[in-house]
Amino acid sequence: MGDTNATLNAKGDTHDFEIKSGTLGPDVVDIRKLYANTGMFTYDPGFTSTASCDSALTYIDGEEGVLLHRGYPIGQLAEHSSFMEVAHLLLNGDLPSAEELDDFTYTITRHTMLHDQLRQFYQGFRRDAHPMAIMCGAVGALSAFYHDSTDISDPEHRKISSHRLIAKMPTIAAMAYKYAIGQPFMQPDNSLSYTGNFLRMTFGVPAEEYEVNPVVERALDRIFILHADHEQNASTSTVRLAGSSGANPFACIAAGIACLWGPAHGGANEAALNMLHEIGTPDKIPEYIARAKNKDDPFRLMGFGHRVYKNYDPRATVMQKTVREVFESLNVSDPVFEVALQLEEMALNDDYFVEKKLFPNVDFYSGVILSAIGFPTTMFTALFALARTVGWVAQWNEMISDPAQRIGRPRQLYTGPAQRDYVPVDKR
C-alpha cells in the first residue's frame, strides 16, 4: 500500500499525495492533508469520486455488474445461502459453520419480541400512515427501551444492539402493516425461520393457523439477501455519518431508514411498480420511453439506471428468475410482468439507454414479486429497510471499531454573500 504518489500542481506549488490500493477496485488518492498543505478543499457534490472510508464488507464493480459480500458473489449467495447465513457473513466476516449458524439463528430468534410498551407508539399514528413513517419512529424509539445496549464503546453492547435490530425489524415492519389494515398484531413464532416468521406476522391472523408457503418463503428470503448490503450507498453513508458523532445504533438506523425512504433510493421499487401499472399495456411502452428520453419531462423510467452499475445489476437477474418461480407456485399471472419484460427489452435496445448505460436495477422486478406475494406497495420500502438493517449494522460496527474513525464533517464551496453589515428594518 502507498508505494506511489499522485502529484497536484496548484497555484504554483507541487504537492504529493499517497495513492492507496485495496484488494479490488480503483486506487484512491489519500487527500486528507490537502487542506492543511494547500488551503484548498476537493469539490465532489454527490460523492461521485470520493471513497469515504475503508471497508471489508462489500465490493461492487459497476462496469462489470459484480457484487461481492466478503468476497462471495451475490448470485451464489442468492442461490445457495440463507438470509441468516448472509447476516452472519456480513457481521462476522465469514460464512458460519453449521454450529455457528445455529447459535446465530437462535440468538436472533430470541430477540424477536418488542417491548410491550412500544405497541402504544403505533396507536399514535394515523391509520393511513406510511409504514416507513412508522418504521422511522419505532426504530428510533428502541433507544428509549434498550438502555442496556447503547454504550457504543462496549463491543458486547454493540453486538447485542445489532442482534436486537436485526431480530426486531420484521416485528416492527409487520406491526406497521397490521396497524394500517386494522388487524391485531401477531406475536413472533420462534419455531419458524426468520422469513417464515415475518410472513406469518404479516399475513397470519390469531383466529387461524398460518401455513408458510415454502416457495414464497424462499423467494422472500432471497429478496432479503439481495438487499442485505450495498457498499457506501446513501442510506449506509447516512448511518455511518450519524454513527460518527457517537449516536446510539437505534438512532443511526432510524436515520438510515429516513434516507432509504426517498424515491431515488429505496422508494424506487414502489415507484417502479406504480409506473408499470400506469403504463398498463405493452402498446403504451413507446410513449413512456419517449417521455423518459425527453429532457423537458421530469419522468424517468423507475427501476432503471444506477449510480454505480453501468451494466446489468446482478441482483436484477436473480429477481427476474424469482418472479417466474413465485408466479408458478402461486399460480398467478400479472399483466405488469409482461409490461416489465417488454419495457426492459425495448429500453435495452434503445440508443438513449445504451449510450447512458442504463440497465434494470434491483427494484425493477422486486415490486412485481412482492405484489404477487400480497404486500401493498407502501410496504416495499419497509421490506428493503428490514433487509438492509443487516448491512447498516455491519457497516456501523466496522466504523466504530476502526481506530481511524473520526466524526464525519464535509466542507463546502461557499457561494453566498461576502460579509456585509446589518441594516435596521426601517432602513431596508
Binding site for ligand CMC (CB under 6 A): 230, 233, 264-266, 268, 292, 300-307, 356, 358, 361-363
Report how far residue 71's alpha carbon sits from residue 75's, in angstroms, rounded to the nearest whole number.
Answer: 12
Residue of 48, 50, 69, 82 lying closest to 229 (CA atoms): 69
Within 13 A of 345's CA, how many CA atoms are on the CB side? 6
Clarify whether 363 is annotated catalytic.
yes
Place of cell 426504530: 139
Please say which residue, 88 or 315, places its beta carbon nearer to ligand CMC.
315
3-state secondary structure of 375: coil
- Number of residues that make up the chain: 428
In whole angstroms, how close is the CB of 299 to ligand CMC at the nearest point?
A: 8
In whole angstroms, how close is the CB of 137 to ligand CMC at the nearest point?
A: 22
Q: Residue 185 in contact with residue 205, Cβ under 8 Å?
A: no
Residue nearest to ligand CMC (CB): 305
C-alpha cell at 145: 427501551
- Which residue of the set 306, 313, 334, 402 is catalytic? 306
In whole angstroms, how close is the CB of 304 to ligand CMC at the nearest point?
A: 4
Q: What angle do CA 159, 165, 166 make, to 5 degrees?
A: 90
Please say which residue, 31 or 302, places its beta carbon nearer to ligand CMC.
302
- Which residue of the set 363, 402, 421, 426 is catalytic? 363
Please say which residue, 142 or 301, places its beta carbon nearer to ligand CMC.
301
Q: What angle do CA 399, 401, 405 make, to 5 degrees?
A: 55
Residue of 367, 273, 264 lying closest to 306 (CA atoms): 264
Report how far residue 420's alpha carbon sits from residue 154's, in angstroms, rounded to the nearest whole number.
Answer: 49
C-alpha cell at 37: 498543505
In whole angstroms, how close is the CB of 168 to ligand CMC at the nearest point?
A: 23
Please say which residue, 266 or 314, places its beta carbon nearer to ligand CMC.
266
In whole angstroms, how close is the CB of 94 to ligand CMC at the nearest point?
A: 25
Please say which residue, 70 or 230, places its beta carbon nearer to ligand CMC.
230
Report how far residue 304's alpha carbon sits from residue 260's, in angstroms, rounded to the nearest whole number.
Answer: 17
Place of cell 422511522: 136
Clarify whether 44 is annotated catalytic.
no
Which residues are marked as active site?
306, 363
